[in-house]
Structure 1
Amino acid sequence: MAFHPLSRNSRFLQPHLPDECWESIFKHLTNPHDLESLSLVSRRFHSFINRIHTHLTISEGVLPHLPALLRRFTSLTSIKLTHYFTGDIDALLSQIASFDLPSLHSLDISYQRTFPSHGFRQFSQKFPTLKSLNCSETNPDLLLIVECFPNLEEIDVSLTSVSSDTDLQVMALASGLKKLQKVDISGTYIIRDSSVFAFCQNCVFIEALVVHETNSISNIGIANAIRQRPQLRSLTVGWGKVTLEFIDALVSLKCLTCLDLRCARISDEALCALAEGGLPLRELNLGDSKGYQYSGISCLLRKCNKLQFLDLQATQFLNDQRVIELSLLLGNLKVVKLGWNEILTDLSMFAIMHNCPLITEIRMERTSVGKHKLEEDCLVVNSHLKFLYLSENKWLDDGSVTMLASLCPNLEMIDLTYCRRVSKGAIDVLRMCCKIQHMNLSHSGCDLSQFRVNFEVPTLFVLNLSWTRIGNEELSLISKTCYKLKELDLDYCPKITANGVKQVVKNCEQLRMISLFSCDKVSCDVVAWMVFERPSLRKIIPPRFTSLIVGQRNLLLQHGCSLGSR
């Protein structure tokens, strides 16, 4: 008999397993909400989970409970602030610095409106050995970063605000952070070739360099820089024409496993020269790149036949026959992106499923999947495929989706956004794919009056029904059969009323997030009731955010639930 840790006899069986075994089991549970439930089983489980909980995301709703969380989870390794956190970041970092967190080595304060200089200094005094810092989309003081955290190994200062001395600050960053292994300076337009060269010259341990969308850096500048660091394993660059001089420098990187040239202009000659370099590439991104043709990419893939990740989005010369030929070269492929090419049909997708047996993720948004019908007895089951992104496929219908469900029994996620001919097929996915966790039917435009899920789907955690005409009756049935839902998006659903929302809140006992933006028939009065009725809720996007007064929002925050906006 299979043993479940929440079974009636678990309290008798627990002592027979050593602590190390339980901790190993819990570490394989990637969903933090599952760990939260398990922590209630026993004091022993509670203690295990306290030790293995290593990541904390802080939102406004978490603030009232933050001291208790920091006292409980003393093994935290990383802390992240939610995007555009509206609280006092200086005070928050100072508060964190008052707790004993010996394992903390990563801080993410990206997408914040202000840089918390005061709190940053206090934080650094308590955690001077911080290894990873993300300040993307902020206006960071780079000199202060060097002063506070000289031992950083990873830093992200991409898309930072432009100022007259940005280049000088980046140079100081490159000179002061000697232990850097990964740096992202993408989108920081004012930096120049000399800055990139300084990173590669001064940071002798650097293995990953990201300089995408940085137009002030030239081919020659990148080429000269990367020649200083032959041990580079990952390189992301993206700008105009890729020259042979840059390719010549690139092939000197004999350890390079990840190459991202998205949005570049690259010739067949350059791709063939890259192929001759014999690099051990495992990831290749040519999404939205121009200038090359089928002969160039086929030449490269014949040499780099160990790829696990391939992005060829918006590659217009590809057709079904060419995808079939390329798939025969990619037996190790796990993730492929072929979206934004309306020539590609079912033939391409099923060729990948057949010829790439290890494939776990296929992205074919805005293609013509569903146009070329294939007989099911000609196809093979792929048990590895877990993620399917098929949004904006105008030919995709219920029959096609049902066939996919029969061929992908272990599917965990499917995106059918803007697939206007799909309704009952989505129900077949829920019925036939016993591991399905995430479904997106946003903007489906079809009649969801037939979307009646009359069988249990205990694995479904995330459901997006925004911009659909689903009604209370169907929603009530979903809440009873998909009772483990954690996130539900109902934005712009004009037929939903407070009664339908209340059914969801009552039946889905693990609900964490619900979005009701522009559900005009739902009154904001229901928001407070939702929080008190379902304590698991952590985020609500109300029908009309501006109608909630500050006092109401603060009251809900005290109960651990934040109010978001669109």
Structure 2
Amino acid sequence: MCDLLHRASLVCKLWHQLVYDPDLWRRIDLKYQHKVTDTQLLTLTQISDRVTHIDISDTHNLTSEAVEHALKWCTHLRSLHMSRGYKLSDGVLEVVGQNCHRLQTLIMDGCYKITNKGLQQMAEGCPDLRKINLSRCSYRVTDDGVLAVAENCPRLREVILAYLSEVTDTSCVRLCEMCPDLEVVTLMFSGVSEKGVRSLTKLRKLKVLDISSLPGISPADVASLTQYCPDLEAMNVSLNPQIDDACLLQVVKYGHKLHLLQCVSCHVTDHFMSEVGKYTKTLKNLDIGWCQEVTDNGIRTLSATCQSLRYLGLIRCDAVTADAVEELVAKYPQITYSTFILESKKLIERARREGFMFNDDQVNMLV
């Protein structure tokens, strides 16, 4: 892309002025540009003195030193995306904290060289931060780093801390105390347990919550969340086998705005399926994949009684038969049913539209 722009600038004086017009370079999007170099990044960030957005996600050639140098010019930066920046170190966050005081969005999932020290330096200089994604930043990010963010960035609205095993209840409790405007919280596969989930009831503006795969949480605490978080719209409690019918029915009963519920591999039975329609007028998407106790009777009752339902995930619900699903697909066309067989057929049809050829024997083997 950078080479193309350079060639375009050589066409004539007018084209050169257009290519290097500062107003065109306030947003720099280099996502997936695997060949972009340090020199090119430095050139692009110096065209305009009012760069507000930079995305260098999945650009594997950029060094931490070049990114640090580039960010020194970007004092008006509002949004910085650096997903899977495997070479980026704490130095980048230090420069952000020193120069990018208007930053509102920081995305750095997969930046495994980042540590608490960098987070502390960034947080102290970015009080207006609204969104941060630290997923998969390795064991070097612990409660100390998250506490610095919570205590220095009170306007946070979205925090994503997935796959951070060293982030515990301490972080969750402090975030809920210091950042009351949080609307999106993701804690999946973190070190958060019962006390942390209980503290989420303080977030009255919470809309989206992912607490999947947290072995230490209790059904009672999960059940109470929608009572205290009235704006909750989407909730993921998957991979928590302790979450059962009674818990989920309470979630749905008080979740007056809840439209998405994911409970893959939870202890869901036909009892939940037969009762949930009585408690909700808003639930549109329900995923109960890998719930082995759900049968044909359960999905039939749910389909008949939950008038708002538009999607039902049934991947690896082995007690549900293909015949029952086909029956319901015909009877309730407004509902999309997702099973392994149906999804395989969709993939085959998509492949055929793109020119791939299958004979009947191959199709039968796949589905």
State which structure, 1 or 2, has the greater radius of gyration over its C-alpha atoms. Answer: 1
Call closer, same or farther: CA 1:535–1:232 in 2, change over 3 Å. same
Q: Which has the higher contact order (CA 8 A, sep 6+)?
A: 2
Matched with 2:354 is none
Local SS of the residue matching 2:56: strand
Q: CA deviation at 1:306?
A: 0.5
Q: Quick check: 1:171 aligned with 2:17?
A: no
Q: Which amino acid aligns with 1:306?
A: D
Give the alignment of 1:129-528 within 5 angstroms.
171=4, 175=8, 201=20, 204-238=23-57, 239=60, 242-264=63-85, 265-315=87-137, 316-370=139-193, 373=195, 381-402=202-223, 404-405=225-226, 407-423=228-244, 424-444=246-266, 446=267, 448=268, 470-471=269-270, 473-482=271-280, 484-526=282-324
1:542 to partner: Cα distance: 5.5
Is the contact made by 2:277 and 2:307 (CA closer than 8 Å) also made in structure 1?
no
Q: Tell me, yes or no, if the aligned pair for 1:522 and 1:543 is still in contact at 8 Å.
A: no
Answer yes or no: is the 8 Å Cα contact 1:320–1:344 preserved in 2. yes
Cα-to-partner distance string for 1:86-117 (whole Å, 9 max, x where unaligned)? xxxxxxxxxxxxxxxxxxxxxxxxxxxxxxxx
Aligned residue for 2:202, secondary structure, equals coil
Alignment of 1:518-557 (within 5 A): 518-526=316-324, 529-531=327-329, 533-537=331-335, 539-541=336-338, 544-545=341-342
* CA positional deviation for 1:369: 1.6
Equivalent position SS for 1:275: helix
The verdict on how the C-alpha distance between 1:370 and 1:402 changes in structure 2, with shifts beyond 3 A counting, is farther
1:344/1:368 contact within 8 Å kept = yes
Q: Deviations over 1:416-474 (max 9, x none)?
A: 11122222433333344443322211122x3x3xxxxxxxxxxxxxxxxxxxxx23x43
- Letter of the aligned partner of 1:363 in structure 2? T
Q: After alignment, is 315-324 or 359-368 more displaced?
A: 315-324
| 1:136-174 deviations in Å (ceiling 9; x for gaps) | xxxxxxxxxxxxxxxxxxxxxxxxxxxxxxx69x82799
What SS class does the counterpart of residue 336 from structure 1 fall into?
Answer: strand
Shift of 1:543: 6.5
TM-score, with structure 1 as normaliser: 0.52
**Residues in 2 aligned to 1:487 and 1:379: alpha-carbon distance in whole angstroms:** 23
CA separation in 1, counterparts of 2:18 and 2:265?
46
Preserved CA contact (<8 Å) 2:238 2:263: yes
Amino acid across the alignment from 1:435: K
- Cα separation, partners in 2 of 1:475 and 1:303, compared to 1, 3 Å: same
| Correspondence for 2:363 | none
DSSP 3-state at the match of 2:209: strand
What is the one-letter code of the residue matched to 1:530? L
Structure in which a larger fraction of residues adopt helix: 2
Distance, in Å, in 1 between the alignment partners of 2:310 and 2:31 is 35
Count of residues in Structure 1 that have an aligned counterpart in Structure 2: 336
Distance change (3 Å), C-alpha of 1:517 and 1:230: same
- State the distance in 2 between where 1:301 and 1:216 align: 31
Contact 2:72 2:99 in 1 (8 A): yes
Q: Cα 1:391–1:546, aligned 2, differ >3 Å: closer, same or farther?
A: closer
Label 1:199 to 1:174 Cα distance change in 2 as closer, same or farther (>3 A).
Answer: farther
Q: Which runs of 5+ in 1 are unaligned?
A: 1-166, 177-196, 449-469, 549-564
Contact 1:174/1:202 (<8 A) preserved: no
* Distance change >3 Å, CA 205–CA 345, structure 1 → 2: same
Determine the C-alpha separation between the residues in 1 that align with 2:252 and 2:308: 19
CA offsets per residue over residues 41-82 of structure 1, 9 Å max, x none? xxxxxxxxxxxxxxxxxxxxxxxxxxxxxxxxxxxxxxxxxx
CA distance in 2, matches of 1:199, 1:326: 40
